[in-house]
A and B are shown apart, each in its own frame.
Chain A
Amino acid sequence: MLIATAVVLCWSCEGEDVVPDKEFDVTLLYGTWRLNDSQLYYKYFEDGTGYTWDESDDVTEEEAQGFTWTLDKSEMIHMHVGMALVPKYYIVTKLTDTQLCYYDAYVTSKTYQFIKATQP
């Protein structure tokens, strides 16, 4: 049984590694975004920096942690800088002036939906 399954899997296609070829207006990203049904915020600045905080964890905006970001087509990378360099790699699926949706490129099943909290 195991061997048969293996043979089938061997001839099947390799796991997909495709990123949607979509362009987004990066200026729409500037400002503060709040994750749906949470108090988690991200704030993006025009210069490629930003910070994030979670008020449910008793963290205020003044105490937010910084990151740098890039948005290249649908690829958005957050580089959280501090004692450690921690990258997060996302694939953006929707970016409007009120909505931001992306999923985790590493664990594709994990999706995020944000709504615009404030303009820049």
Chain B
Amino acid sequence: MKKALKVIGIVLVSLLGVVAATIGIACWLIFTPARLTPIAQKAADKYISCDTHIGKANITLFKTFPQLGLAVDDVVIINPVEGAATDTVAAIRELDASIDLKRLIKTHEIVVNGIDLNGGKAYIYTAADGTSNIDIFPKSDKEKDKEGFDLSSLTLDVDHLTAQDLDVTYCSRKDSIDASAKGTSLNVKGALNKGNIKAQAELAAKHAMLNIAKSEPLSADIDGMMLKADIDALSKDGKADATLAAGNIRYEKGTVEASLQELKADVKADKDDTLWKGSATINASAPLLAVNGKSPLNAGATRLDLEAKGWFDGKNIEIEPVVTTPDISFTQAGTQWLNRSDVSIKAGVRTDTTFRRFNLSEGDIRLNQFALGLDGDIALSPNDTIGADVHLKTNCWDIPALLTQLPRSVRRALKDVQIRKAGATLDLNVDGTLHKGKLDLKNADGTLLADYLDVTYNDSITVITPRVAIGLHTPKSRKTNKFTEFVQGTIASPSIDAVLTGTGDFSLASLNGTYSLSNFTDKKKPFSALASLGMSTLKANVDTIVAQMERPHIDALMTKQKNKPYYSATLKADAFNGNMGKTTKLSTQSLAIDATALQDKTKKNVLDQWNPDAQIQLKGGHAELPALSVPIDIPNISLEFTPGKFNVKQSRIVMGNSDFALQGLITDLNTWLDKEGLLKADMTFKSDYTDVTQILDLVSGMGSKPKNSTDTAASTQDSDDSEPMKEDNPFMVPEGVDVRLRTDIKTANWNGFKFNNVGGRVTCSDGSLVAEQLGFTSQAATMQLTAMYKSPRKNHLYAGLDFHLIDVEIDKLIELIPKIDSIVPMLKEFDGQAQFHLAGETYMKSNYDLKLSTLRGAATVEGKDLKVLDSNTFATIKKYLMTDRQAENKIDSMDVEIAVFRDEVDVYPFRIRLGQYEAIVGGRHNINKDFDFNYHISVTDTPLPVRLGLNIDGTLDDMKFKLVTPKYTNLYKPEKRGVVATRSLELKKAINESLKRNVKSNEYFND
């Protein structure tokens, strides 16, 4: 274009020269067209190397008065160039040149001070090899042209230069340019002298177009263009006003298309010494922009208005543009981001002539009612780094209203989020650089304030808060013990309420906290976050559960360790209160939880995936449960959970009259969850005082289901058929666990009996619950108990025991175990100390009724110096056996072995000595409805000459005595006794030995 202007300038100057020469000749030699025309033609031939034709040349005086005029009609310049559309370079219908007549007369100078062109065409063509059809000047001029054309050295004083109705076409095959201007008019008046310009110019064209066919084709056209300029530019002062008006403008380059229907631009500038001040107004109607391609973009508005003012002092530039576009619509890739929105941009921009540093002041960007204020500095570095130190501040954005402005696709993506009310205000200072997409924040400080928030997510979580303030600032890189902090901030809210549909309500009050984030723009380092939150209360309302935590404080960390997600959290609370319904209450005076987790997504089970590690400390716990008639107090408990292991480090629990401490390890959680092994526990149960009776009463029936339960558990019919069917829910021993509990109870109370130093082991291993060799002492006896309970199925429950009472008072024994009276009914007849050993087992139905066919048992009672209590039965026996009525009712020794098989209780023959009398007693009774029995007493030693036998049979209510021949006379006479007697003694001995086999020494009980 610059070259084209240069060429046009050369042509104009040349034409002026031709005109001046023609006028000169006309003035001094020939004044008639007939004479002037050949002369002009000759002169043209001299200055123009190609063919020229001049129709008519004439001198005019009156047309250009007071100037002398030369009128030339039908000037045609012909210079054929191969490839050109025509050989005519220019065809001018009328050309009038005004010559300063005064200077001509006075100084004989020919000064052309005005040229008027009217009608004509110009065609400028450059071939691909650079040959141009305007190379029409003699060689000397060409050489001059090669030296360059310096407009600054040009001195012009143009009274007027006008052109009317010109069509100009430019075609360069070399540069692939086609340009044209139709109906062009020009009116220039002014002077150019040593760089000083004083000119007024008007340029108009009915239609102009430009096409550049390069790799990215460009085409532009404009209708009805009018440019007015008034320039007064002196070396120190100056001013310039320019007005541009145009009709339709269309621009297309590559994939970019732009158009507008009407354009009006006014530019005014004043120069004062070195300071330029100016203003500009641009108004465009129906501006459109389209960028085609993979992600097509379309933007359009009814108007685009720009008002700007500014100044330039030679070094610095400041402009204050105000851009407004009402009803703008913007679509990208089918997504409509703006729909008839009002957008305005206002800012004060100051920069220098390097255009690398910009200062923004009072920036204001608005989209409808949403405003973003912008101030600060922006610097562009040669290495494509953008530096910014800016302050952003929004007005209060109505988020629901903002969402309506967002495209449907975005709203669809947020369809699970229902924001009923939310106002957000952002106030942010940012100082950082951006280089190749990488953000490097030096400093950022700001606050995001939500004035009110009422949001529902997924129709399930609703959060309501009157106010949340989130502060943010990036400190200098500060390393915590976990990561380098990049962003640090605060969070505060007077209250937050959350509703989880179907779950419950949660709320917190007076939230204050801090958080920090790692550099989330650094993709090479894992993202980490740290939060420390404190609040006055935290409440939860779930179903019938109401819980409240006082002054909880939570510290939480999220980072990566060994390239795996790592989480840690601590919770401390002054107090916790929880109620479930009206009957269940839980409270603590203090609660502390310290937990970590290292996530490994490759693992299957939950514990392996998270590797949790937790420390839990609770003090002043208090629980009231509907199933328990007494509260449970937990003065303190300390738990530690590590992967696969649960450690009850310390605990103290008070339940009713009992207090105890549980301590120990629960292990193999992982293998248990993987169903590859047993859950193992090794615990100790220490207690100063355990009220066993109360605990059993408390836990009795726990876990049983209501009678109207639809559970298909085994049911049993009561013996009385008229009784309704009852559902049973017996205790089922957990399977897959191996729990060992060591007991250390200083004093245990059971049914009023106090047992001391209860020590032993209780195990629950894969379906069996075993109390193993529990040893304890009481006022009545020293005891040892092994008990076993198994639940292979609901209607087949196993119970077994091995029970030893050393030196027990018989009356206390019966009091302790009332059922012993059923097994050894004669025991209640004695008083004194005895050793009692009992072992047995049975299966039970789901209601714990015995399955008698499975009952097996054995017992032995050994006593010395026992007193036989006075009773009718004993008196009757003494009468039948004719013993001395005055004889002391004292038994020197007694050794009873008893075997229980199904409903049969066999009392193996045992010897008792009563003074001078000795007898052997044996027999059987049945544990059936009638409790019938069949006993025999043989008198083996008596001062009397006769030794009698006595059968006692019948039932307890109907006891029958019958003197018979004594059966056991020879029982202790090996040489005389029979086979059955011998065998009975052997079996009696076997029972005795088997029962005593597991008895521990006295030291065991005293340890």
Partners in one complex: yes
Do A89 and B948 form a contact, CB below 8 Å, given A9-B963, A14-B970? no
Could you tell me the distance between the alpha carbons of A59 and B843 in the complex, rounded to whole angstroms? 9
CB-based nearest B residue for A19:
B979
Within 8 A of A (CB), among B163-194: none
Instruction: Decide: A82 and B856 in contact? CB cutoff 8 A.
Output: yes
Within 8 A of A (CB), among B848-897: 851-854, 856-858, 879-880, 882
Could you tell me the distance between the alpha carbons of A45 and B308 in the complex, rounded to whole angstroms? 114
Do A9 and B979 form a contact, CB below 8 Å, given A54-B853, A65-B856, A82-B856? no
Instruction: Decide: B995 and A106 in contact? CB cutoff 8 A.
Output: no
Could you tell me the distance between the alpha carbons of A14 and B981 in the complex, rounded to whole angstroms? 13
Within 8 A of B (CB), among A1-36: 2-3, 5-7, 9-10, 12-19
Could you tell me the distance between the alpha carbons of A7 and B906 in the complex, rounded to whole angstroms? 30
Do A63 and B856 form a contact, CB below 8 Å, given A2-B963, A6-B946? no
- One digit per residue, 1 when the CB lies within 8 angstroms of any chain A CB and 0 when it does not, for chain B 771-802 equals 00000000000000010100010011000111
Could you tell me the distance between the alpha carbons of A85 and B856 in the complex, rounded to whole angstroms? 8
Instruction: Decide: B796 and A86 in contact? CB cutoff 8 A.
Output: no
Tell me the minimal C-beta distance from A6 to chain B in angstroms: 5
Tell me the minimal C-beta distance from A42 to chain B in angstroms: 12
Instruction: Decide: A14 and B796 in contact? CB cutoff 8 A.
Output: no
Could you tell me the distance between the alpha carbons of A10 and B981 in the complex, rounded to whole angstroms? 20
Question: Which single member of A54, A65, A87 contacts B990 (CB below 8 Å)?
Answer: A87
Instruction: List residues of chain A with CB within 8 A of the CB of B99.
Output: none
- One digit per residue, 1 when the CB lies within 8 angstroms of any chain B CB and 0 when it does not, for chain A 37-61 equals 0001000000000000110111100
Tell me the minimal C-beta distance from B316 to chain A in angstroms: 102
Instruction: Decide: A12 and B987 in contact? CB cutoff 8 A.
Output: no
For residue B947, CB closer than 8 A to chain A, the reply is: yes
Question: Which single member of A54, A83, A88, A107 contacts B801 (CB below 8 Å)?
Answer: A83
Interface of A is mostly: mixed
Instruction: Decide: B947 and A89 in contact? CB cutoff 8 A.
Output: no
Tell me the minimal C-beta distance from B767 to chain A in angstroms: 14
For residue B901, CB closer than 8 A to chain A, the reply is: yes
CB-based nearest B residue for A38:
B853
For residue B382, CB closer than 8 A to chain A, the reply is: no
Instruction: Decide: A107 and B934 in contact? CB cutoff 8 A.
Output: yes
Instruction: List residues of chain A with CB within 8 A of the CB of B231.
Output: none
CB-based nearest A residue for B909:
A106
For residue B949, CB closer than 8 A to chain A, the reply is: yes
For residue A115, CB closer than 8 A to chain B, the reply is: no
Instruction: List residues of chain A with CB within 8 A of the CB of B980.
Output: 17, 19, 89, 105-106
Question: Which single member of B851, B969, B984 contacts A14 (CB below 8 Å)?
Answer: B969
For residue B978, CB closer than 8 A to chain A, the reply is: yes
Question: Which single member of A2, A59, A83 contacts B882 (CB below 8 Å)?
Answer: A2
For residue A77, CB closer than 8 A to chain B, the reply is: yes
Could you tell me the distance between the alpha carbons of A84 and B786 in the complex, rounded to whole angstroms? 12
Question: Which single member of B948, B949, B963, B995 contacts A15 (CB below 8 Å)?
Answer: B949
Instruction: Decide: B839 and A83 in contact? CB cutoff 8 A.
Output: yes
Minimum-distance CB pairs A-B, first 10:
A17-B978, A54-B853, A84-B839, A85-B994, A84-B858, A83-B800, A10-B946, A15-B967, A87-B987, A57-B853
> Would you list 21 pairs from A and B whose C-beta atoms are within 8 A, ordered by A residue?
A3-B882, A6-B963, A7-B946, A18-B978, A18-B979, A19-B979, A57-B853, A58-B796, A79-B990, A80-B856, A83-B786, A83-B788, A83-B802, A83-B856, A84-B841, A84-B858, A85-B991, A85-B994, A86-B991, A87-B899, A89-B987
Beyond A56-B853, A84-B858, 17 extra complex contacts between A and B, CB < 8 Å = A5-B963, A6-B948, A12-B965, A13-B965, A57-B851, A63-B796, A65-B856, A75-B983, A82-B800, A84-B856, A84-B995, A85-B991, A86-B857, A86-B901, A87-B899, A88-B901, A89-B987
